[in-house]
Structure 1
Amino acid sequence: MLPRGRDPVFVVNIGVNDVGKEQEFDKAIDFYTQAIELNPTVSVYYGNRSFAYLKSEYFGSALNDASKALELDKNYVKGYYRRAGAYMSLGKFKLALKDFEMVTKACPNDKDAKMKFTECNKIVRRMAFEKAIAVDDCRKSVADTIDLENMCIEEDYTGPQLENGKVTDSFIKELMQNFKDGKKLHRKYAYKILLDVKEMFKKQPSLIDIHVPDGKKFTICGDIHGQYYDLLNIFQLNGLPSESNPYLFNGDFVDRGSFSVECIFTLFSFKLLYPNHFFMSRGNHESQTMNQMYGFEGEVKAKYSSQMADLFTEVFNWLPLAHCVNNRVLIMHGGLFSQDDVTLDEIRKVERNRQPPEEGIMCELLWSDPQPQKGRSPSKRGVGTQFGPDVTKNFLELNKLEYIIRSHEVKPEGYEVAHDGLCLTVFSAPNYCDTMGNKGAFITTEGKTLKPKFVTYEAVPHPNVKPMAYASNLLGFI
């Protein structure tokens, strides 16, 4: 609560300065909400809460607050910055460009604003060009343009090599050590892995059925977000994937963390080696817009090429959207749906080879979040929906399931049990972005009981490369 008799601007600014050091933006949101309740006519309150929402990845709420701030004060320049940031995070670059243009008009000597306007304009122009030349029926796949035969392996290359073009156990172990030592996989082998895993995913349905035998262990991991050294720690704690130690990684393998290339090639290699015992679900960050903004595209271009970045987009389009374990537990990255009566068969039939749409089953599987109250609410993220315990209960009863597991949200302990134990969240990137201070977690269970057990862990050291090192310059919302 704001202390009685204290000026809300003074108190809120103290609160935000304090919690900002620990990246506890939920507390900042609470402070500004209290200030708005005391005086709902101050544009700065909405603008600063918008910033906290942006940092919490609640892009829809950030957009609403920035718009409210500008409604109160059309000359509030930071409001245009905040709203542009929300629009960009939602992939609405044309609308972001309009707001950056307003900033450049208001502050013609602001070099940062001019740079953001220029960069955003480039994206809008590129998207317009790609749309103009795209002909869906005859557009050539990037995969079809890769000429592996003429890619030479240099004599001085000493890294891991595929054996007869195949991933092996020894290849993966050498690959992980190679990455740990800060070295690259040769581009010929990198392309080969991408081409092979794409063909594997193409043959699979949008909903994968997994059978875990009685008494056998199964592990579910949440978001990794390019934190390669924390991924290695999971394997250290829980054992390497194998036919006797199967895993499911539940989306958001890349972006934000600056070792996303190392993460994704490690995971794809395990998928190729153990196709029936290693599983990967698509997350909302396995998309072109997210990759452009949050670092993965920039990282791939820096470590390999723009052609490979485009190939990754094609591969991500084929990632399965959900997994069902023993016909009893459904696992997806985001959550449930804005409509009742969605069945597992409908999920199986989703045409997923595309960029995530802004609504519908595919969108909600990637973007939705649970809420404590009954019913549904508009998503704070601006995409997907928020669903209550009654929605979860009804979905489970309709589909004869016991509970759902999802990821998508940072949790202080790395996991959360909600909706009377029917909705579990698991997040596997500890100290997210080197700032959040959260633990990471994974879930282990066994085939007969499917009772979830949570294993938590702290972040481990990594080389001195900051998160978001390859992210778009447009992400400077302040």
Structure 2
Amino acid sequence: MADAVSLKNQGNDAFKQKDWSGAIDYYTKAIELNDKEPSFYTNRAQANIKLEAYGYAIADASKAIEIDPNFAKAYYRRAVANTLILKHSDAIHDWKAVVRKNPADKVAKAQYEACQKMVKRDAFLKAIEIADAPSAAVGLDLENMIVEDSYDGVRLKDEMTQEFLDDMIERFKTGKKLHRKYVFQIILAVKALVYDEATMVETEVAPDHMLTVCGDTHGQYFDLLEIFRLNGFPSQKHGYLFNGDFVDRGSWSTEIALLLYAYKMMYPKFFFLNRGNHETDDMNRMYGFEGECKAKYNERVFKLFSESFSALPLATLIGSKYLTLHGGLFSDDAITLDDIRKLNRHNQRQPGQAGLMMEMLWTDPQTTPGRGPSKRGVGLQFGPDVTKRFCEKNGLEAVIRSHEVRMEGYEVEHDGRCITVFSAPKYCDSTENKGAYINIESDYKLQFNKFDAVPHPDIKPMAYANNSMMSMM
């Protein structure tokens, strides 16, 4: 027991240093020496929550409850994890248990009340859901919308211009906003562009051209600009593919979304956007993008963004060699590229809890063969044998995906056939990771580039998320 406690304490030290993976290793070793101490499991659960491995956190908390049904911290951890994956109906029972066991815990009581509201809200939204709801653009008279003389930015006409882009970049650096007319105009233009693209866009890299693949940017605007500073701004000869999760968590999500959309307007054939699991309504309500849209613009802006997100392609095939999608591979070996091509994403605005779209946005690789339950509590995990079979069956060199922090910004797994790229360095100001991007020229060799986070104004991540979420992060 003394050795186990020593390992737990080393795990606590690693946790304080924000070394979540190191902390998990120590807690796991402590559990191997003594698997009857519930606090070892709840500590590991908290580290898993930091790594967004909510499914693992739920499993650890459940084990702690099995050992000690009166251990309030275990119910708390499980409630947090279920809340963070939007399983409010599951979370509410644990919040209630925490309040019952610790009636003086004001934080738990507030979380319980917030969860009750979320359950009611979810039920209300489901009840009023309309399959073919009218667009938020109905009644929006852009042609006659006045841009006041006091607006100090460059004016936008029918086509995106470099002058407008340059001005936009500088405005956002200094905390200024675009005029609402231009926000509406950009979102509607890009919604129309991406709606007409295939569910799996197929592109080639021509001689003397380059395509850069970026992973999650998560509202970290100043780190996005660092990519462009280091690697070059988009142009007709230098295309970019942003592989989902542009928004949420970071507090400049509207700035990133609008800048990426403006580049899509400027270079529609050379600038590509894949949908991520955070380009969805339920995640945007929880993790800040909805709140940010309302704070900086208005609710209609969020609704139009939501419509445009549901129109985004789900994958991009680069040179018939690299399938690029946000999450990963599938629960069924029978799925092929043709199944992605045939998928009508416009029939299903949100990914739901099952099916091809959900798996493309949510799944993760694992080191062991076969398939396993998701560490996130949503989707599944796939092993190197699954990746090998998929690549061989579809004539691919590799699958490029994002969706997960990697400490070096990228990781090559599954014998080189599964590549993760993540482009939000020092993620949420709390993880000491680098960012990365991949350059691909006409020889289709992958060139990996790492970069560090840059300073940003003193606005914390999740500044626009709901208050109950902030207290759990």
Give the TM-score of the pair, scaled to structure 1. Answer: 0.94
- Which residue of structure 1 aligns with residue 206 of structure 2? 213
- Which residue of structure 2 aligns with residue 268 of structure 1? 261
The whole-number CA distance in structure 2 between the counterparts of 1:134 and 1:312 is 18
Three-state SS of the structure 1 residue aligned to 2:22 is: helix
The whole-number CA distance in structure 2 between the counterparts of 1:222 and 1:326 is 19
- Select which of 350, 357, 360 maps to 2:352: 357
Q: Provide structure 1 residue ranges, at least 5 long, that are not aligned to the other structure.
A: none
Task: Map Cα deviations across residues 459-478 of structure 1 (whole Å, 9 max, x no partner).
Answer: 11111111122222233338
Relative to structure 1, the CA distance from residue 462 to residue 47 in structure 2 (aligned partners, 3 Å threshold; closer, same or farther) is same
TM-superposed CA distance for 1:9, in Å, is 2.9
Alignment of 1:258-407 (within 5 A): 258-352=251-345, 353-407=348-402
The whole-number CA distance in structure 2 between the counterparts of 1:160 and 1:241 is 20
- Which residue of structure 2 aligns with residue 464 of structure 1? 458
Relative to structure 1, the CA distance from residue 442 to residue 202 in structure 2 (aligned partners, 3 Å threshold; closer, same or farther) is same
The whole-number CA distance in structure 1 between the counterparts of 2:263 and 2:169 is 11
- Which residue of structure 1 aligns with residue 4 of structure 2? 8
The whole-number CA distance in structure 2 between the counterparts of 1:419 and 1:371 is 9
- Select which of 443, 447, 450 maps to 2:444: 450
TM-superposed CA distance for 1:346, in Å, is 0.5
TM-superposed CA distance for 1:145, in Å, is 4.8
The whole-number CA distance in structure 1 between the counterparts of 2:322 and 2:161 is 31
The whole-number CA distance in structure 1 between the counterparts of 2:116 and 2:413 is 43
Structure 2 residue 163 is matched with structure 1 residue 167 = no
Structure 2 residue 87 is matched with structure 1 residue 87 = no
TM-superposed CA distance for 1:102, in Å, is 2.2
Three-state SS of the structure 1 residue aligned to 2:238 is: coil
Alignment of 1:240-255 (within 5 A): 240-255=233-248
Aligned partners of 1:16 and 1:28 also within 8 Å: yes
Aligned partners of 1:160 and 1:178 also within 8 Å: no
TM-superposed CA distance for 1:385, in Å, is 2.1
TM-superposed CA distance for 1:43, in Å, is 1.8
The whole-number CA distance in structure 2 between the counterparts of 1:229 and 1:206 is 30
The whole-number CA distance in structure 1 between the counterparts of 2:252 and 2:66 is 41
Task: Map Cα deviations across residues 164-192 of structure 1 (whole Å, 9 max, x no partner).
Answer: x3321111111001101111111121122
Task: Map Cα deviations across residues 209-255 of structure 1 (whole Å, 9 max, x no partner).
Answer: 11211342111111111110111111111111111111101111111
Three-state SS of the structure 2 residue aligned to 1:142 is: coil
Aligned partners of 2:404 and 2:420 also within 8 Å: yes
Task: Map Cα deviations across residues 291-333 of structure 1 (whole Å, 9 max, x no partner).
Answer: 2222222211211122322322222111111000122211111
- Select which of 182, 188, 197 maps to 1:189: 182
TM-superposed CA distance for 1:384, in Å, is 2.2
Aligned partners of 1:293 and 1:474 also within 8 Å: no
Task: Map Cα deviations across residues 318-369 of structure 1 (whole Å, 9 max, x no partner).
Answer: 1111000122211111111121021111012223242122222211211112
Aligned partners of 1:179 and 1:262 also within 8 Å: yes
The whole-number CA distance in structure 2 between the counterparts of 1:10 and 1:419 is 35
- Select which of 153, 158, 166 maps to 2:152: 158
The whole-number CA distance in structure 2 between the counterparts of 1:302 and 1:77 is 36
Aligned partners of 2:205 and 2:440 also within 8 Å: no
Relative to structure 1, the CA distance from residue 24 to residue 146 in structure 2 (aligned partners, 3 Å threshold; closer, same or farther) is farther
TM-superposed CA distance for 1:99, in Å, is 2.0
Structure 2 residue 106 is matched with structure 1 residue 144 = no
Aligned partners of 1:341 and 1:398 also within 8 Å: no
The whole-number CA distance in structure 1 between the counterparts of 2:73 and 2:146 is 51
Residue type of the alignment partner of 2:429? D
Three-state SS of the structure 2 residue aligned to 1:144 is: coil
TM-superposed CA distance for 1:96, in Å, is 1.6
- Select which of 101, 121, 125 maps to 2:120: 125
Tell me whether 19-28 or 324-333 shows the greater mean CA deviation: 19-28
The whole-number CA distance in structure 2 between the counterparts of 1:306 and 1:51 is 34
RMSD: 1.8
Task: Map Cα deviations across residues 10-34 of structure 1 (whole Å, 9 max, x no partner).
Answer: 431x223321233211111112212
Relative to structure 1, the CA distance from residue 135 to residue 415 in structure 2 (aligned partners, 3 Å threshold; closer, same or farther) is closer
Three-state SS of the structure 2 residue aligned to 1:140 is: coil
Relative to structure 1, the CA distance from residue 441 to residue 98 in structure 2 (aligned partners, 3 Å threshold; closer, same or farther) is same
Task: Map Cα deviations across residues 130-172 of structure 1 (whole Å, 9 max, x no partner).
Answer: 22222324x2222325343564323321123212x33211111
Relative to structure 1, the CA distance from residue 150 to residue 93 in structure 2 (aligned partners, 3 Å threshold; closer, same or farther) is farther
Q: How many pairs are equivalent?
A: 470
Residue type of the alignment partner of 1:460? V
The whole-number CA distance in structure 1 between the counterparts of 2:220 and 2:35 is 40
Aligned partners of 2:434 and 2:453 also within 8 Å: yes
Task: Map Cα deviations across residues 97-127 of structure 1 (whole Å, 9 max, x no partner).
Answer: 2222222333333322222222222222222
Three-state SS of the structure 2 residue aligned to 1:40 is: coil
The whole-number CA distance in structure 2 between the counterparts of 1:62 and 1:184 is 39
Residue type of the alignment partner of 1:212? V
The whole-number CA distance in structure 1 between the counterparts of 2:145 and 2:111 is 37
Three-state SS of the structure 2 residue aligned to 1:269 is: helix
Structure 2 residue 77 is matched with structure 1 residue 77 = no
Aligned partners of 2:11 and 2:25 also within 8 Å: no
Q: Provide structure 2 residue ranges, at least 5 long, that are not aligned to the other structure.
A: none
Task: Map Cα deviations across residues 48-73 of structure 1 (whole Å, 9 max, x no partner).
Answer: 21111111011111111122222222
Structure 2 residue 425 is matched with structure 1 residue 430 = yes
